[in-house]
A and B are shown apart, each in its own frame.
Chain A
Amino acid sequence: MTDRALAVVRAGALTTVQDRGRPGHAHLGVPRSGALDGPAADLVNRLTGNPPGAAVLETTLDGCTMRPRSDVTVAVAGAPCPVTVDGRPAAWGAPVRVPAGALLDIGPAVSGVRAYVGVSGGIAVEPVLGSRSTDLLSGLGPAPLTDGTVLPLGRPTGPHARVDVAPQPAPPAELVLRVTLGPRDGWFTPEAVRAFLSRAYRVSAASNRIGLRTEGPALERARPGELPSEGMVLGAVQVPPDGRPVVFLADHPTTGGYPVIAVVRAADLPAAAQALPGTPVRFVAVHRR
């Protein structure tokens, strides 16, 4: 019997296991979690013949290196990056056959932040509340990978896709985030709401899986104090006391007391996951459909 597992040789800056997360438990204080760039995670599953929602690896900036213990098909997408097998260049954004014992290296991102690595059979760590995702806020799910971690793989369920290179959006040079105002835009001065929707922000280096932090004009409050804690949604733009908007990403807290000035459309969040620190950000108001 082959040993279906993946040995981690170089874990990289932050590599986690991600699937579609664990929605439905927010009332217990459990964040949603899951891949930040969902379309990229879906793509690598499709390319490797996995069902949608199989667990993949999410790397941060500098990739990772692995040695599968059995023959596998892998695919890398999301942030563009060099891929090699035993030192020989291999395709990015397409299925790649990796023989047992070969060294698969996912190099540093050429642009963007997070690369996704799909492996035929999926990463088969034990699910927690129906998900294999690492949740960095609450600590649920597997710990971030470390050198030497051995990840179990599931059984492949389907043939890999027959494509050469799948088209993908390029990581953004400017991040345009469409928002609907509220629910707490009334907590800010009209000037602050105008500034939020017209001034230039930049992605802060303090961004992580919990939130995309920004640098830019501080938003002045029309009323002081804190709200009683209230439920928070994915994409909520929370404004802490320093006045700089924070866009909540997958590992966001389920409740919070800072006012939410607006909510980013879900379709714009994958691009936010790929925006490097320093990327210009614009918030653009749209009407609810």
Chain B
Amino acid sequence: MKVLPVGEDALLVEVSSGEEAQALHAELLRRRAEGSLSAREIVPAARTVLLDGLDAPARVSAELTAAEIPPAPPRARAVIEIPVRYDGPDLADVAAHWGMPEREVARIHAETEFRVAFCGFAPGFGYLTGLPPRYDVPRRATPRTAVPAGSVALAGSYTGVYPRSSPGGWQLIGTTDAVLWDHARVPAALLSPGTRVRFVPEARS
């Protein structure tokens, strides 16, 4: 684990895998909840956790460098189920990458339990991990100028759902009616870091 200072009052803690980042994130949230860590923002990402708005960054840095991070806690949180239709315009391309028929892509995706590794790009957009590395796919060579809201998509090792229409280069494999972000709702975000997710195919009408 490497602790990099960021400006005057932030630290970027770098670890070697996504799993370690998730474990570190859980541990930092636990410390903030028990009052031993004061941070305005705790932002997990692919291989890092950013701590921003620290009162005493040098002390926190020393503590973290010496710390043993326990593995991520047992999966106590409920699974969020996202209804999906595997009807995306890039499903055939993904099937070609995976070397299997489209219905197999849908089956494997729907049988995977995902976890929100981190959020970014747009409010409520989660980067979901869970697929094994052999199913990594590249981004589209040419990004779309408008990806419809509710698109279920793949890029690299991640699955994501577009909370609203936006430009995007991910491979679109399906569609959901789930509302990923509603600022009038509490919580506004359906998915937050650590959330477990399953995609549930809708019965064909």
Contacts and interface: CB of A to CB of B under 8 A. Distances in A.
Interface residues on B, range: 35 or more
A183 B6 contact: yes
A24 B189 contact: no
B113 interface: no
B7 A29 contact: no
B48 interface: yes
A230 B12 contact: yes
B7 A233 contact: yes
A182 B124 contact: no
Interface in B114-139: 118-125, 127
Contacts of B10: 233, 263
Residue of A27, A128, A266, A288 most packed against chain B (CB within 10 A): A27
Nearest to B127: A229
Nearest to A137: B122
Given A27-B42, A28-B189, A263 B127 contact: no
B164 A139 contact: yes
B148 to A, nearest CB: 16
A264 B10 CA distance: 12
Contacts of B1: none
Q: Which secondary structure dominates chain A's binding surface?
A: loop
A24 B40 contact: yes
A228 interface: yes
Contacts of B52: 26, 231, 233
Chain A contact-residue range equals 35 or more
A284 interface: no
B45 A231 contact: yes
B8 A231 contact: no
Contacts of B169: none
Name the residue in B10, B119, B122, B123 with the highest tally of chain A Cβ atoms < 10 Å from its Cβ: B123
Given A138-B122, A233-B50, A263 B40 contact: no
Interface in A39-74: none
B178 interface: no
B5 interface: yes
B40 A180 contact: no
Contact of B7 (A25, A128, A253, A265): A265
Given A24-B40, A229-B120, A255-B118, 15 more contacts: A23-B53, A27-B42, A27-B193, A28-B188, A29-B120, A29-B123, A129-B183, A182-B4, A182-B6, A183-B12, A229-B45, A229-B118, A230-B46, A232-B50, A263-B6
A-B pairs, top 5 by smallest CB distance, nearest first, are A231-B50, A263-B7, A228-B46, A255-B120, A231-B43
